[in-house]
Amino acid sequence: MKKTVTTLADGRELIYYDGRDDAVRTATDPRPLTAVVSRSEIRLDELTGDPVTIASHRQARTYHPPADACPLCPAVGGRESEIPEEAYEVVVFENRFPSLSGGVGRCEVVCFTDDHNASFADLTEERARLVLDAWTDRTAALSALPGVQQVYCFENRGQEIGVTLPHSHGQIYAFPFVAPRTAATRRRVDEHRRATGRNLFDDLVARERADGERIVLETDHWTAFVPYAAHWPYEVHLHPRRRVPDLLALDEAARAGFAPVYLELLRRFDRLFGPDQPPTPYISAWHQAPFGDPRREDFGLHLELFTVRRAPGKLKFLAGTESGMGAFMNDVRPEDAARRLREVASA
């Protein structure tokens, strides 16, 4: 992998990741941009203890531009773009409309391909591996920034999820706090260790492998399953067979084996509801251990992939119980979801 670091016209960092060592990136950003002015504020919910980010400047962010004005396409034919090269492989840059800014974290955009119409599932295994390497590199860099406690790599796909730029991309958030979901998981991991002397992630994956009914696919280095108490209609958790706390700790065998497993899962998601249905909207989220936590080795890196679509033409909305009380009600039995995900395996 070759990494080329440059800046955009307003001073934001832009990083090219190329599979070839002889790749040359020299294009400069010609846009007359002014410096980004953004201020985020972290407030604490006194009733739950959860941090809440206030980022009112994001109201002006780019919203569903026409395809010929996509800011994530390469700069061809005079197009104004966030990426000044005429072609690229994988690119990471600082978000112009960040949720976290002004010394309280950082937000980055990850472009997986320069093809406006391609999805992650369309990538080659080589390109998917390059994305994994970019996620890993950014995790290392962002975790070293002052005040950063957790690095979160994720992708939202589909308007149903709230995506406003259809070009295939994801994001990376460097949180100046431990996310509420992670904090709750850490408490459970600690409780399990005190009660049993064992690791919760190890026991969970071992139970799923022994039961087998919710397993979606397995390889020598990865296990994918629908969790016993899945929140979402179709939800898959992907764990490395050797528990590690973060992307940095994955060994080469797991890195090499990731792309075929992940691409297969994404392609199965697109086949869930039949060939006449539009691409399946989903969220794909890496869960990594917080940095600076003395117990971080007990955390298990894993990826959670889920969709809000519950049936053809029907979405799972967060209704009163979920939004108001955080009490999820799932319309699809996890065992049935796992069976369906096995049925749509690639031939």
Q: Distance between CA 126 and CA 240 in Å, rounded?
A: 19
Catalytic annotation present for 169: yes
Residues 199 and 299 in one domain: yes
Residues 156 and 235 in one domain: no
Residues 232 and 126 in one domain: no
User: What are the tokens at 217?
Assistant: 């696919």
- What is the per-residue pLDDT for 67? 84
Classify residue 41 as exposed, middle or buried by CB count within 10 Å of its CB (0-12, 13-18, 19+).
exposed
| pLDDT class of 56 with cuts at 50, 70, 90 | confident
The 10s digit of each residue's pLDDT in 204-226 is 999 999 999 999 999 999 999 99
Residues 115 and 200 in one domain: no
Residues 164 and 252 in one domain: no
How large a percentage of the chain has pLDDT more than 70? 99
Question: What average pLDDT does the segment 105-115 reach?
Answer: 97
Residues 187 and 229 in one domain: yes
pLDDT at 324 > cutoff 90 = yes
- What is the per-residue pLDDT for 334? 98
The 10s digit of each residue's pLDDT in 70-80 is 999 999 988 89
| pLDDT class of 253 with cuts at 50, 70, 90 | very high
Residues 191 and 66 in one domain: no
Residues 143 and 201 in one domain: no
Overall domain count for the chain: 2
Residues 146 and 246 in one domain: no
- What is the per-residue pLDDT for 102? 67
Residues 293 and 312 in one domain: yes
- Domain end marker among 148, 178, 208: 178
Looking at every residue in the chain, the average pLDDT score rounds to 95
Domain with 37, as residue range(s), is 2-178
pLDDT at 313 > cutoff 80 = yes
The contacts found for 269-276 with CB under 8 angstroms, 24 or more apart, are 269/121, 269/234, 269/305, 269/307, 270/119, 270/121, 271/344, 272/234, 272/307, 272/309, 272/340, 272/341, 272/344, 273/309, 273/311, 273/312, 274/312, 276/312
- Domain end marker among 178, 204, 219: 178
CATH number of the structural domain spanning residue 264: 3.30.428.10
- Domain end marker among 178, 200, 223: 178
Is there a contact between 74 and 82 (Cβ–Cβ < 8 Å)?
no
| pLDDT class of 60 with cuts at 50, 70, 90 | low
Residues 137 and 251 in one domain: no
Phi, psi of 294 (to 5 degrees): -65, -15
Residues 195 and 170 in one domain: no
Question: What average pLDDT does the segment 13-18 reach?
Answer: 98
Phi-psi region of 158 (alpha: psi -120 to 50; beta: other; left: phi over 0): left
The 10s digit of each residue's pLDDT in 160-172 is 999 999 999 999 9
Nearest Cα to Cα of residue 181 among 272, 290, 260, 254: 290
Count the neighbouring beta carbons within 10 Å of the beta carbon of residue 262: 24
Catalytic residue among 64, 167, 169, 231: 169
Give 20's contacts (C-beta < 8 A, 6+ positions apart): 2
| pLDDT class of 296 with cuts at 50, 70, 90 | very high
